[in-house]
Amino acid sequence: MSQQLPQNRHEHRHGADGSTRLDSYVDRYAARTQGMTASEIRALFSVASRPEVVSLAGGMPNISGLPLDVVGEAISDLVANRGSTAMQYGSGQGDPRLREQICDVMRLEGIEAHPDDVVVTVGSQQAVDLVTRIFCDPGDVVICEAPSYVGALGVFKAYQCDVVHVEMDEHGLVPSALREAIAHVQATGRRIKFVYTIPNYHNPAGVTLAAERRPEILEICREADVLVLEDNPYGLLGFDEEPHRALRADEADGVIYLGSFSKTFAPGFRVGWALAPHAVREKLVLAQESATLCPPSFSQMAVSAYLEKHDWLGQIKQFREMYRERRDAMVRALDDMMPPAARWNVPTGGFYVWLTLPDGLDAKAMLPRAVTARVAFVPGTAFFADGFGAQSMRLSYCYPTPERIREGVRRLVGVIEEEVELRHTFGTGLGTAPTPRTPGLNRGYDGPTTDLT
């Protein structure tokens, strides 16, 4: 007999054990929805966005410096002169002119690509989704850095992948740890579908993969016949350096490269892309068509017009200077105020500092007290699929002004000092077991996979 939907909101309110349920559809959802839990970031947004709270939590780019007049003119010109194309369905692969321009952008990182191998996506977030959709069956292994981008972990969970974390240090992913993790997983007969890595100005760890490690990482993956998924939304946002050479620049077959205009232009257009080997590109287009028919024509043409008409590289330079000033404000405030037992890295680009608390403190447990003290951060556990990271937190300096960043750190230090004090008073019961000092240091690769809470 076919199942019928509940006739009114009060049906199915009680589970088999008689407990009251808030969601009367709970027995009907697909198994994959069990991996879809609200991230710490999401739960935080409602409180952290109150004006009295200094949010060091979100990774929103600060786009106040964008030339809105130039963008406005480009868009009105688009509507007036090419409106009927811009407002029509487009190609599943994306606008051909934009794909050419994307190749120009990637050339800055040493990538020589053909527009035919580019698929435009709804932000690089959708590219992560489409790649996972075409490669991963439930139970397949995806290797990620420890910690890793919360949005990608969410995708991997939604497709019921097993995430295996691999240690990073201040120079990024550790090649020997990657080799070991791959060998370990393969020895257990499980399939690794790809290594997901953010080589530049990592979210959330703030570190960058050292140039000398890049060929080694590629070699390890080539030998083990494992694809690399290179996610690079921050690559052009280095503070004092030229863009790093992309992994994809030296390996066309084994790497799928993801890029985005969210951090270098504006996230609201939701335009990102994947550059993939030819056969994979075809599958990605099919997946894109089934997901959205086509990426939005209007957004793509607006981004294309902006690139055409504006000094976008000059704009990126301005962004870099603004973010460098904020990074400096964050690091200076940490240097001046943090207790000596706390540790953090100094990022050379991007948006994030990864801070590890004095031993025994738990960032997640501390968060409600921090919000009461009007400062917010993201607890480290959000960036691990296996519950690690409790002693760490991600601090974003991209959005608040330098003065607000300093004030936020001052409030955070107050909360940490209170926690340390409480711990001294009440002993060791307050915190959790110590977790690694540098991002992912000493992380095992076969820890249990638990849901994020």
Ligand X SMILES: Cc1ncc(COP(=O)(O)O)c(C=O)c1O
- The contact set with ligand X (CB under 6 A) reads 59, 123-125, 149, 151, 198, 203, 231, 233, 260, 262, 267, 272
Whose Cβ is closer to ligand X: residue 149's or residue 397's? 149
Number of Cβ within a 10 Å radius of residue 255: 25
Instruction: Indicate the residue among 260 and 438 with the shorter CB distance to ligand X.
Output: 260
d(CA 323, CA 348): 10
**Cβ-based burial of 397 (10 A; exposed 0-12, middle 13-18, buried ≥19):** buried
Closest distance between ligand X and the C-beta of residue 124, in Å? Answer: 4
Q: In this complex, which beta carbon is closest to ligand X, that of residue 198 or of residue 416?
A: 198
The pair of three-digit structure tokens given for residue 245, joined into one six-digit string = 């050479």
Q: Which helix (H) or strand (E) holds 369?
A: helix 363-372
User: DSSP code of 13?
Assistant: -
- In the complex, least distance from residue 331 CB atom to ligand X, rounded to whole angstroms: 20
Q: Which is nearer to ligand X, 130 or 198 (CB)?
A: 198
In this structure, the chain runs to a length of: 453
Rg (CA), the chain: 23
In degrees rounded to 5, what are phi and psi of residue 363?
Answer: -65, -40
CB of 365 to ligand X, least distance (A): 25
Instruction: Decide the pairing of beta strands 375-376 and 271-275.
Output: unpaired
Q: Which residue number is nearest to ligand X in terms of Cβ?
A: 123
Q: How far is the CB of 433 from ligand X (least distance, A)?
A: 28
Give the count of beta carbons closer than 10 Å to the beta carbon of residue 374: 18
* Between 258 and 390, CB nearer to ligand X: 258
Sign of CA dihedral 355, 360, 366, 370: negative
Minimum gap (Å) between residue 273 Cβ and ligand X: 9
* DSSP characters over 33-54: GGG----HHHHHHHHHTSTTSE
CB of 375 to ligand X, least distance (A): 21
Q: Which is nearer to ligand X, 294 or 415 (CB)?
A: 294
Structure tokens at 353: 């500092």
At position 304, the amino acid (one-letter code) is S
Q: What is the spatial distance between Cα 256 and Cα 274, in angstroms, rounded to a whole number?
A: 7
Token readout for 322 is 């603004």
Between residues 233 and 296, which has the closer beta carbon with respect to ligand X? 233
Instruction: For residues 29 and 377, give the distance between their C-alpha atoms in angstroms, rounded to a whole number.
Output: 32
Q: How far is the CB of 179 from ligand X (least distance, A)?
A: 24
Exposure b/e, 334-352, CB count within 10 A at least 16 = b? beebbeeebbbbebbbbbb
Q: Which two tokens stand for residue 117?
A: 């191998």
Q: How far is the CB of 128 from ligand X (least distance, A)?
A: 6
Q: Which is nearer to ligand X, 205 or 301 (CB)?
A: 205
Shortest Cβ distance from residue 359 to ligand X (Å)?
29
Please confirm whether the linkage preceding 147 is cis (ω < 30° from 0).
yes
189 contacts: CB under 8 Å, gap ≥ 6: none
Q: Give start and end residues of each alpha helix (H) in 53-117.
A: 68-86, 96-107
Shortest Cβ 151–ligand X spacing (Å): 5
Q: What is the DSSP letter of 12?
A: T
Q: Vertex 362, ends 357 and 368: CA angle to 5°?
A: 110
Question: Which residue, 231 or 362, has its beta carbon nearer to ligand X?
Answer: 231
Taking the least distance from each CB to ligand X, the nearer of 135 and 234 is 234
Cβ proximity to ligand X, 59 vs 408, nearer residue:
59
Q: How far is the CB of 199 from ligand X (least distance, A)?
A: 10
